[in-house]
Structure 1
Amino acid sequence: MGGYASWCFCDKDRALYVNRRISADLSRRGFVAGMAASMLSLVLPKIAGAQSASPPPPPAAPIVFTNFRLFDGQSAALRDGLTLTVEGDRVGRIERGQAAAAPASTDGRQVVDCGGRVMMPGLIDMHWHALLAALPIEAVLQGDFGYVYIAASAEAERTLLRGFTTIRDAGGPAFALKQAIDSDVISGPRVYPSGAMITTTGGHGDFRPLSDIPKAGGQISTIEKEGGAVIADTADEVRLRAREQLMQGASQVKIIGGGGVSTPRAPLDMVTFSEPQLRAAVETAGDWGTYVLVHAYTPESIQRSVSAGVQCIEHGHLMDDRTAALLAKSGTWLSIQPFYEGAIVPRPSPVREKQLEIIDATDGAYRLAKKHGVKTAFGSDLLFSQVLATRQGAMLAQLKRWYSAGEALTMATGGNGRLLALSDRRNPYPGKLGVLEEGAYADLLLVNGNPLENLELIADPAKSLSVVMKGGRFYKNTLAA
């Protein structure tokens, strides 16, 4: 693999020829798609959706921020009169006092005068699909997967510039994308990948055409080949599929516990895995030092998951009072999304009917979570539209219907960071995320205005964010101008 670094990409025809040969001659999904995306983004930077620039280099010297108001991701109160130093990819020191407001000090440090802006941790989205967010579902299911990776690499950069410095990918073959980001091939957020969603025959994520049924001779569907979802109908198959995702680098395992909205033939009220099958996933994840998140809307699917030892429920919109009380008592996380009409792509019936049912149930679910003190995380789950993907911050701003701005921002920073830490030994970024304290990753934003007074600022990142920093690197810095 190392030999590719010495190739010259100045000859577009040659690079395109090489890309075609790799796509034609090799069948390994992650390698083909990842290399195709990487090469085309380097060779053709002006094509629609390509990366606009290479990732910035690591900082050559400490960076000292001064003259800011600090929201640290843990307390809703702003702190003033501080200096924050970034050393490498971490927060070095947070001290009382102000450094000299100059472009650089005599000891080589870069000093940044924040002009009284609010500094806060980078945002975390706990339910994002990096390969599915910005493309129509038809392109994902029927198009060339190399194109899907190219589009995803562009969307990764846009996600980062919206202020989301970390995402938990809740299902999809995001391993190559994560590798490209971590190795500085492209810009994007930190990625906690789940790999393929593990579902049952007929469950949410089983997008096979009826012509592919019955499944015979070990034949697998296109979506299984590409790594979007895999089917398991026994406890042993669940263990196998979970281990396959962990082997590829999953930081947690995604299980489908019931029906879903976007799968036409999976009604919301269905239940997929039995409790022993769910327990097989939990035990397997535990053997690898991590946890299971379960897609579940209904009381039955949620309760069954909690009984099996699942540590995080995704969605939960149709839960009842008893189920919310169970979540609170067990300490199980609820990763729920503030769905509203403007956050979905209207689909034909019966999908449309399911969309409306979930939207109508959203308010009640959040009220139950607050009533019982359920540990609640923020995620957006925006799918299949580049226009909707831009509303990631607007989804966060919807939390003002149930929470103060401080509570919402704490949920999307420090709270989500605590949930990420459940990946334990499989944690790809073992430092603290979602908080600004000494030793934490230097993922931070500078906001023009006070988001603790006006949460809508997060919905307009192009205007509201002066600085986006991830790992001590400036990915956006309008103060420099």
Structure 2
Amino acid sequence: MLPALRSFSPIAPSANGACCCDSPLLQRFHERMMAEISRRHFLGGTAAVVALFAGLRAPEAVGARPRGQDRPVLLTHLRLFDGSGAPLREEVAVRVEEGRIQAILPADAEPQGAEVIDCGGCVLMPGLIDAHWHTTLAAITQVAAMTADVGYVHLVAAREAERTLMRGVTSVRDVGGPSFALKRAIDEGIVAGPRIFPAGAMISQTSGHGDFRMRHEIPRGASTPLSEQERQGVAAIADGEAEVLRRTREQLMLGASQIKLMAGGGVASTYDPLDSTQFTERELRAAVEAAEDWGTYVMVHVYTPRGIQRALRAGVRSIEHGQLADEESVRMMAGENAWWSLQPFLQDADANVYPDAVRRESQRQVAEGTVRAYEMAQRFDVNTAWGTDILFNPQNTPNQLRHLAKLTRFYDPLTVLAMATGRNGELLALSGPRNPYPGTLGRIEPGALADLLVVDGDPARGLDFLEDPERNLRLIMKGGRIHKDRLGEDS
């Protein structure tokens, strides 16, 4: 922006020698600039973090061999999992050109000018998609997120984004938090990371699951400033249809690909009990209508039948969690063709540890509900997505793919893998014109985006190989760029 200001020279004299300082054009320019500066100041640390990264190259360990950009690539000597859940295919090769799958060819196809990559008999599959990921909030503790400099929070998130990509997760649906700046930095190649479908701030009612204020901040008056979490874009508190409408439109203005509302309580909540129902149907519908006007959809955090049914009646397209659903709610999800974004909350080694009995009991209820939820999702043929919802837990992010492998308790391995690739790609596509990455994700088919993994394992037998991605992911490609290549090395 500064070079443009210098070249504009708004105070240069006009042709007749008079100063242009008071011209209407300059005044309008000044007003626009001041508004932009104010907006950037409000966004604060987010913009500052982008500036911190400006001019830096991606770490050498990631993106060190950006092959496939200027020259086509032909992947050979492989077994193909195409993301559909169908059995692996043999005797094929895959050609990548200009960041997309150009063709699936016979194994003996001629390179025709392409660089040949021998996959050594390993499995080629689409990049993984986590449909419930908090890009900015996963790898930092809640205390640090609430007390550290905002720049630090975003730098931690950028480092975790690189690690996420190196686990083979090439796309994430961000379900709440200030991820817009990181998304831009990744898209521009400043840092490495997955494709981000951002929701922006989680919209919550007062006392809802996204209300992180302290007790001394209540009550809020008409002139009370926003809380720190609201200023940073973690959450947005809205009460009444008009406020919900405004907050929804603000996230769309910032670039949200979908909208996230809190429609019920949670396990780790400070104020709202697990069984609480949040937002009226009219409030939920206000967000749905605003999102639909922009060609996209609303997802809601909710667990209980009452909250699920209210959200579905309002037109919500994706139920996040929902482990306490009853049969009526699940039938309603199937009937509305909604998505059930489930996570394997099983009160196991990956679960958060709570010191108090109340939250442990809520956690137990959700764990029991998880087993029933996966059974009902299959029985009633509900669109089901996989996500992790790792939040404020840096110790757990390295185990992201373990959350996927454990689903083989409920499904056969290829169905699980299809859920984390092709099926999740269909969910991402609900963003319609707000999709920041037009093109098919999660599938290996002509025209699809070339987000690919070469894995040392047999997904037809099991997914345990995903629990050690550093060793078993031999090649990681995103958009035709190779971010990791250990083909030919000893495993």
TM-score, normalised to structure 1, is: 0.90
Quote the offset at 1:427 in angstroms. 0.5
Corresponding residue number in structure 2 for 1:83: 93
Quick one: which of 158, 168, 171 aligns to 2:173?
168
Quick one: which of 257, 269, 272 aligns to 2:278?
272
Maintained 8 Å contact 2:476/2:485? yes
Quick one: which of 229, 235, 245 aligns to 2:235?
229
| Cα separation, partners in 2 of 1:135 and 1:119, compared to 1, 3 Å | same
Matched, 1:98 2:143: no
Corresponding residue number in structure 2 for 1:379: 387
Corresponding residue number in structure 1 for 2:211: 206
Quick one: which of 158, 163, 171 aligns to 1:158?
163
Corresponding residue number in structure 1 for 2:487: 479
Maintained 8 Å contact 2:43/2:231? no
Maintained 8 Å contact 2:63/2:481? no
| Cα separation, partners in 2 of 1:187 and 1:43, compared to 1, 3 Å | closer
Give me the whole-angstrom Cα distance separating, in 1, the residues matched to 2:121 and 2:461.
15
Quote the offset at 1:2 in angstroms. 7.9
* Deviations 1:102-142, CA, capped at 9 Å, x for gaps: xxx6x642101111111100000000000111111111122
Greater mean deviation of Cα atoms: 33-42 or 193-202: 33-42
| Cα separation, partners in 2 of 1:51 and 1:477, compared to 1, 3 Å | closer
| Cα separation, partners in 2 of 1:144 and 1:87, compared to 1, 3 Å | same
Quick one: which of 120, 126, 134 aligns to 1:129?
134
Maintained 8 Å contact 1:55/1:185? no
Give me the whole-angstrom Cα distance separating, in 2, the residues matched to 1:71 and 1:184.
28
Matched, 1:256 2:269: no
Quick one: which of 121, 126, 143 aligns to 1:138?
143
**Partner letter of residue 52 of structure 2?**
M
Maintained 8 Å contact 2:174/2:199? yes
Maintained 8 Å contact 2:74/2:116? yes
Corresponding residue number in structure 1 for 2:344: 338
Give me the whole-angstrom Cα distance separating, in 2, the residues matched to 1:352 and 1:2.
54
Matched, 1:283 2:285: no
TM-score, normalised to structure 2, is: 0.88
Quote the offset at 1:93 in angstroms. 1.1
Corresponding residue number in structure 1 for 2:355: 348
Give me the whole-angstrom Cα distance separating, in 2, the residues matched to 1:190 and 1:125.
10
1:285-300 correspondence runs (5 A): 285-300=291-306
Give me the whole-angstrom Cα distance separating, in 1, the residues matched to 2:362 and 2:340.
20
How much is the aligned-residue C-alpha RMSD, in angstroms? 2.2
Give me the whole-angstrom Cα distance separating, in 1, the residues matched to 2:273 and 2:352.
18
Matched, 1:66 2:106: no
Corresponding residue number in structure 2 for 1:186: 191
Quick one: which of 421, 444, 458 aligns to 1:436?
444
Quote the offset at 1:342 in angstroms. 1.8
| Cα separation, partners in 2 of 1:204 and 1:400, compared to 1, 3 Å | same
Quote the offset at 1:98 in angstroms. 2.2
Corresponding residue number in structure 2 for 1:412: 420
Can you give the 5+ residue segments of structure 1 that lack an aligned partner in the other structure? 5-24
Aligned length: 453
Can you give the 5+ residue segments of structure 2 that lack an aligned partner in the other structure? 5-37
Give me the whole-angstrom Cα distance separating, in 2, the residues matched to 1:442 and 1:110.
15
Maintained 8 Å contact 2:50/2:185? no
* Deviations 1:249-301, CA, capped at 9 Å, x for gaps: 00000011011223211101111111111111110000011000011100000
Secondary structure of residue in 1 paired with 2:349? helix
**Partner letter of residue 245 of structure 1?**
Q
Give me the whole-angstrom Cα distance separating, in 2, the residues matched to 1:289 and 1:268.
32
Q: Identity of counterpart residues, as a percentage? A: 46
Give me the whole-angstrom Cα distance separating, in 2, the residues matched to 1:221 and 1:351.
25
**Partner letter of residue 181 of structure 2?**
A
Quick one: which of 41, 47, 52 aligns to 1:28?
41
* Deviations 1:365-399, CA, capped at 9 Å, x for gaps: 11111121111100110121222011110000111
Give me the whole-angstrom Cα distance separating, in 1, the residues matched to 2:224 and 2:135.
29
**Partner letter of residue 355 of structure 1?**
Q
